Amino acid sequence: MKHLSSLMLLVLLAWAGPALGQGGGAPVGWVRLSADMPLRGRWSLYSEVETRQSNAQLTAQQLGRLGFRFHLAPSFTLTTGYVLAGNEYDTPGGDNAIAPEHRLYQEIAVTDVTGPVRASHRLRAEERWLRPTPEAAFEFAPRLRYQLRVVVPLHSGGVLPRGGLFLVAANELFAGLGSNEGRSFLEENRISAGLGYRVSRLATVEMAYLHQTQAAGAAGAARARNAVQVSVAIATPNHVSLVRR
């Protein structure tokens, strides 16, 4: 019943996406590399690099994340860290300009890997300092993000050995906490679904189709993008690491 509840919640969250934006056009590419490696005791170090082409409000974005993760239990973790992003914008002259973005973040993740459908819930708070245009001053734009992610192994018995395939689906909602003048409280939604492969005891590869929508802001109309996302993850070999991303 609890796995059915997670699937139903994922479907309900997916309905929020079309309300934020329309269209999408041809898909573009997102590539992400991540690693979650153990340190001492219950601590691990999480690192991530990602490149996104044609983000919903940007021409492109490059992102690096570094965080320290504390494992309260095998299925319950706390993470805090820093993100540096480079946001590329179109300029009136036809050239692209890159503006930096700085973030601090705190994260709570809870997972359930007891059945054939493995679900994870992630709540992340972000304190962001960004420039809405390359020439503008930095603005403080905090937000909350909630992600529900499910993994379904295709191997008999619901296990995922090396060489095993799995289905993956996720939905993430973004809520702005700063000044909402001219903006929607639910400012963004990302829903994705795809196929994964366990390459080794440490590594998995996923390819997913992602639909991103952003609500209308003070500067313009709602926007939407489609993306093909390729993710390569390296983590300690346990069931939880195959669920959380």
Mean pLDDT, the chain, whole residue set:
84
Question: Could you give the 3-state DSSP secondary structure of residue 94?
Answer: coil
Find tokens 């492109």 and name the residue: 60
Confidence at residue 28, expressed as pLDDT on a 0 to 100 scale: 82
Enter the pTM of the model: 0.84
The residue type of 236 is T
Per-state percent for the chain, helix, strand, coil, to nearest 5: 10, 60, 30
CA dihedral over 206, 84, 134, 144, signed as positive or negative: positive
Cβ neighbours of residue 83 closer than 8 Å, sequence gap 6 or more: 63, 64, 65, 66, 101, 102, 103, 104, 105, 126
- Across the range 190-215, mean pLDDT stands at 94
Name the band, by pLDDT with cuts 50, 70 and 90, for residue 124: very high
Query: Quick check: 192 pLDDT over 80?
Result: yes
